[in-house]
Amino acid sequence: MTNAYARKKQPEQVRRTLLDCAAGLAVEMGLSALTIQAVADAANVTKGGLFHHFPSKEILIEGVFVDLLDALDSEIDALLADDSVAHGRFTRAYVESALRLIGSKTPSPWGALSISMMTDANLRKLWSEWLRNRLLRHADTDSDPALEIVRYAADGVWLADLTEVDATLRMDRHALRQTLIDMTVKSDRP
């Protein structure tokens, strides 16, 4: 067994491991069942080591949420880079990201965190700030009210699938995605 005092400290690696373990446990157990001890055990650190990085369960959950927002940012940036049409570029990337999340067969902590966001003011604030910053950054290409409707529709599709609305009541996701993407194309509106 390695002597803990002889090991070289790697705080960023430990922090990353804690975030990954907390996200994995959130998928497996749900946020309400997530405990500090379970995360510490999964990450093979002491509770004190966990508290060094995240002083409370709430701060740990916020850390996981911010980590997911960073991943969403990276995905959206990649989609933006591949889109040569300026009008609606951010909205198309937003729709693609939202529908990829629901189309993925891999369990994701997004579900648990998104449901929690509805009742947790801190998570709601983090989401609102993220979205506000993105919308301000893309105001010149994505401020059309029709594009806002498309983003709300993508949120609704995502929430319907997250809450497992009966599949017989849902439109084919490929067709729905295409409809939403088509709605981002600028047309001659009256």
How is residue 178 written in tokens? 């295409």
- Residues with Cβ within 8 Å of residue 42, at least 6 apart in sequence: 21, 24, 25
Cα radius of gyration rounded to whole Å, the chain: 19
Q: Which CATH architecture has domain 11-182?
A: Orthogonal Bundle (1.10)
Contact 17, 98 (CB under 8 A): no
> How far, CA to CA in Å, does 16 sit from each of 11, 19, 101?
8, 5, 22
Q: Closest by alpha carbon to 68, among 19, 105, 7, 117?
A: 19
Query: What confidence score (pLDDT) does residue 106 get?
Result: 62
Read off the pLDDT of residues 178-187 as tens digits, 9 standing for 90 and up.
Answer: 999 999 987 6
Query: What confidence score (pLDDT) does residue 187 get?
Result: 61
Positions of the chain with pLDDT lower than 50, given as ranges: 1, 5-6, 190
Q: For tokens 């947790």, name the residue.
A: 120
Query: What confidence score (pLDDT) does residue 113 get?
Result: 73
How is residue 127 written in tokens? 């989401």
Contact 1, 22 (CB under 8 A): no
Distance CA 75, CA 41 (A): 31
Distance CA 10, CA 87 (A): 44
Contact 97, 79 (CB under 8 A): yes
Query: What confidence score (pLDDT) does residue 5 get?
Result: 47
pTM of the predicted protein model: 0.82
- DSSP states along 171-188: --HHHHHHHHHHTTS---
Query: What confidence score (pLDDT) does residue 107 get?
Result: 60
